[in-house]
Homo-oligomer: A and B are copies of this chain.
Amino acid sequence: MWRALCEHAIGAVVAAATLSLGWAAPTPPPSPTPELYSPQTVSELKKLEHAALTSDYGWRQVAHLANNIGPRLSGSAQAQKAVEYVAVELKALGLEVQLEKVMVPHWVRGDETASLVQFPGQAPGTTQKVVLTALGGSVATPPDGLTAEVAVVRDFDELKSLGKEKIGGRIVVFNYAFDRRMAEQGWGGEAYGEAVVYRSDAPSAAARLGAVAVLIRSVGNAAYRLPHTGLTTYAADAPKIPAAALAEEDADLIAALVPQGAVRLHLVLTPKELPDAVSYNVIADLKGSEHPEQVVIVSGHLDSWDLGTGAIDDGAGVAVAMEAAHLVRQLGLRPRRTIRVIAWMNEENGLRGGETYAAEHASDIGNQFAAIETDGGAGHPLGIYIAGQPGLRTILQPIANVLRDSGAGLLDFRDEVGADIDPLAKLGVPNFSPIQDSRFYFNYHHTAADTLDKIDRHELAENAAINAVLSYGLANLEQPLPQ
């Protein structure tokens, strides 16, 4: 495998060089491959990788964010504390720090309880508890809740087939299962993509048919009576109805009971949507020596959902971006372009941070050289995802060759590799992210179990190695990137 990859890489470099001539020479030997990275840069990249694998700076950062600050939902006091903390830490590294103001949604979770109050076989005077959590952005039920009969559907097609008669007045359960086998084979993100459409679109789809509330089966893996939150969205043409995610077991329970007879559920959700709040992207520059105006962004998002402590989503991403700058400083290196660490605000329920940055830099987009984001947890990385031109593979191959030492030598393309940097991708900026182990990520994603213990220190360091090597490599690339 190693040889195959290596030969492929050499072939790609030659092909790129040939193409760059703009014509096909009939006989002369191919011109020398243009140098992508100087020998000194390659040597420094190897030093950065080795230093990353033995540093605990990133671990200490994510430990502080998760344990000492805790959940960091946009608009919360913890999110503000995290902004201040990261700014201070990056200043301490000698970076130039600025806070970029972002107005963020300020949604606050309230009570969230539910029980089956009527079901086949029910013991007299009893109800059965149902475990759920409000979806981000959900409207509230009345303070004392609402009670209605339950209808269960698997998907939008089944919803439509039932129609207004069987959906009207009901609490609709969407029992679409996350594809566990897909995740087990390493395609966790794809499994998530298939199921998450119900989290976003089900409430309005059901409301158009008269439903009074929607409960989705949690978009995630593992069955530990643990509901997964996440953002829902309301369409302009539909009533806003309360929406929550059921633990997998509770979706199974309701789906088993409904065919046996009438099931009625009592639901209480009391979230509040407060006025938009002031928050910030934390932006910290390690200035380039030759092209300080050109920036290579290395980033994660600082906000998190409110159920867990945001360790894997995405304290880890912020920590490995901070570690990249820390390692460059620790080794006394000076990048030729600016390495810009960004801790984005509001990825989870608005994307206001990423969108604000892209809008504010649209007129200067040519200086946004590249953007890296880590937002898939802290699992062992296999390499680098690229969103951009095919020629980027050739440019990144020497970096991949360095990272192969820690098992991270793959390069692959995706349409989108990071939510906060995608607005930049749409403006032509090449985007990159680590290819992270996604087999277990969706066991914990957006749940109360997203906590520090889910991070393996060595695997976190492997992600830091990618961030350091890739950001420093791009900052020292001897040519422009294809955009």
Binding site for B on A (CB under 8 A): 63-64, 67-71, 76-78, 80-81, 85, 119-126, 128, 131, 222-226, 248-249, 252-253, 256-257, 260, 308-309, 443-444, 447-449, 451-454
Partner of A226, one of B224, B308, B444: B224
Residues of chain B within 8 A of A78, CB atoms compared: 123, 126
Chain B nearest Cβ from A163, distance in angstroms = 28
Interchain CA distance A257-B451 in the complex, whole Å: 14
B121 near A69 with CB under 8 A, answer yes
Q: Which residues on the B side are within 8 Å of A126 (C-beta)? A: 70, 76-78, 81
Apart from A68-B120, A81-B126, A253-B451, 6 more pairs, CB < 8 Å = A68-B119, A68-B260, A128-B309, A223-B454, A224-B224, A224-B226
Contact B453 A223 (CB under 8 A): yes
Between A and B, 20 residue pairs with Cβ closer than 8 Å are A68-B120, A68-B121, A68-B122, A68-B257, A69-B121, A70-B126, A76-B126, A77-B125, A85-B121, A222-B224, A223-B451, A224-B224, A224-B226, A225-B226, A225-B447, A249-B449, A249-B451, A252-B451, A253-B452, A256-B452
A131 touches B253 (CB 8 A): no
**Which residues from B are CB-within-8-Å of A125?**
77
| CB-CB nearest 7 A-B residue pairs | A68-B121, A224-B224, A81-B123, A225-B448, A225-B449, A249-B451, A77-B123
Q: Please give the distance in Å from A364's CB to the nearest CB on chain B.
A: 34
Interface centre among A126, A225, A309 (most CB of B within 10 A): A225
Contacts of A85 in B (CB 8 A): 121
Closest chain B CB from A59 CB (angstroms): 12
Bound-complex Cα distance A249 to B226 (A): 14
Identify which of B68, B224, B260, B448 contacts A449 (C-beta below 8 A): B224
Interface centre among A69, A85, A443 (most CB of B within 10 A): A69
A175 to chain B, nearest CB (A): 13
Distance from A229 Cβ to chain B, minimum over Cβ atoms (Å): 13
Q: Which of B67, B121, B248, B451 contacts A453 (CB 8 A)?
A: B248
A121 touches B223 (CB 8 A): no
Q: Give the distance to chain B from A285, nearest Cβ to Cβ, in Å.
A: 26
A126 and chain B: residue at smallest CB distance: B77
- The CA-CA distance from A394 to B270 in the complex, in Å, is 64
Who on chain B is nearest to A250 by CB?
Answer: B451
CA distance A124 to B82 in the complex (A): 12
Q: Of all chain B residues, which has the CB nearest A306? A: B129
What CA separation (Å) do A453 and B128 show in the bound complex? 17
Residue of B nearest to A260 (CB): B68
Q: Tell me the complex Cα distance, A226–B447, Å.
A: 11
Known pairs A68-B257, A256-B67; A451 contacts B123 (CB<8 A): no
A198 CB to closest chain B CB (Å) equals 20
Q: Is the CB of A67 within 8 A of B249?
A: no
Bound form: Cα–Cα A454–B225 in Å? 11
Q: Which residues on B sit within 8 Å (CB–CB) of A452? A: 249, 252-253, 256
Question: What's the nearest-Cβ distance from chain B to residue A114, in Å?
Answer: 14
CB neighbours (8 Å) of A121 from chain B are: 64, 67-69, 81, 85
B123, A225: Cβ atoms under 8 Å?
A: no
B contact residues around A131 at 8 Å (CB):
448
* A253 to B451 Cα, complex, angstroms: 9
Q: How many Å lie between the Cα of A226 and that of B76 in the bound state?
A: 25
Q: How far is the CA of A64 from the CA of B40 in the complex (A)?
A: 70
